[in-house]
Amino acid sequence: MLIRDRQLQGLLIAGLVTSLVMALFLFAQDGFSSVQALRHGVLNGFSAQSTTGFSTLDISQIGAGAKLTLILSMLVGGGAGSTAGGIKILRLAILMQILYVFLQRPGMPRQAIAEASLGRHRLETDEIQTALSIVFLFLMAIAVSWLVFVGMGHDPLDSLFEVVSAIGTVGLSTGVAAPNLHPVLKGVLCADMLLGRLEIIAWLVLFYPRTWIGRRLEE
């Protein structure tokens, strides 16, 4: 059944956690009533988690706690194989399994073998390497882009929001992305959207010289 799918379960849990945490910040920091905070928290939380890009709020007017919650949600994104952006629920689950194995090992006998797995599926080395590589590349792209924005005088948190929204192909904005944005920063956001849509590795393969030169030499 669909409801037993681990990624769907992860998406629902992540969306629910994001919604509740955001609602808490809206209520405690931004002065929303409990009903308004919960309504906006659920709508915007699941929008960010699924990278839909729909918003019922002026993101520029909410507090740092709510913004950071949305940033983390957009970074994780939806399920692998879907049209959602982000690093994907599946890769987050793989990272959590690897961490769980590392925490297990100190308390295990030396000869014991601890293997990372998702459900009944044992994670192969190439699956782990791919997940770690993509997460690392995403974080590196975000860090570089964010430094460009901060270096050109924009607010650090708002800059991080814009960059993560772009690379997660979400579309939410704090207002930094505007028609009067500096052309260099527009180029950075455009590059982030392209990198995020194809998950970076495809671009690295495209521009890797051996992708083209090696084939010509073989021919």
- CB-CB neighbours of 1 under 10 Å: 5
Q: Are strands 121-122 and 117-118 parallel, antiparallel or unpaired?
A: antiparallel
What's the pLDDT band for 216 if we cut at 50, 70, 90? low
pLDDT tens for 48-98 read 999 998 999 999 999 999 999 999 999 999 888 788 889 998 888 888 888
Residues 6+ apart with CB under 8 A from 66: 22, 25, 26, 29, 30
The residue among 69, 60, 54, 58 whose CA lies nearest residue 24 is 69
Residue 108 predicted with pLDDT over 80: no
What's the pLDDT band for 9 if we cut at 50, 70, 90? confident
DSSP assignment string, 152-187: TT--HHHHHHHHHHHHTT-----S-SSTTS-HHHHH
Which of 2-16, 111-125, 142-156 comes out lowest in average pLDDT? 111-125
Rounded Cα distance between 219 and 213, Å, is 10
The secondary structure element, H or E, covering residue 121 is strand 121-122
What's the pLDDT band for 3 if we cut at 50, 70, 90? low
More confident residue, 109 or 89: 89
What's the pLDDT band for 192 if we cut at 50, 70, 90? very high
Residue 128 predicted with pLDDT over 70: yes
pTM: 0.86
Residue 4 predicted with pLDDT over 80: no
Residue 219 predicted with pLDDT over 60: no
What's the pLDDT band for 215 if we cut at 50, 70, 90? low
Annotated domain spans of the chain: 2-76
- For the chain, percent of residues with pLDDT exceeding 70: 95
Three-state DSSP string of 52-99 = CCCCCCCHHHCCHHHHHHHHHHHHHCCCCCCCCCCCCHHHHHHHHHHH
- What mean pLDDT do residues 173-198 have? 92
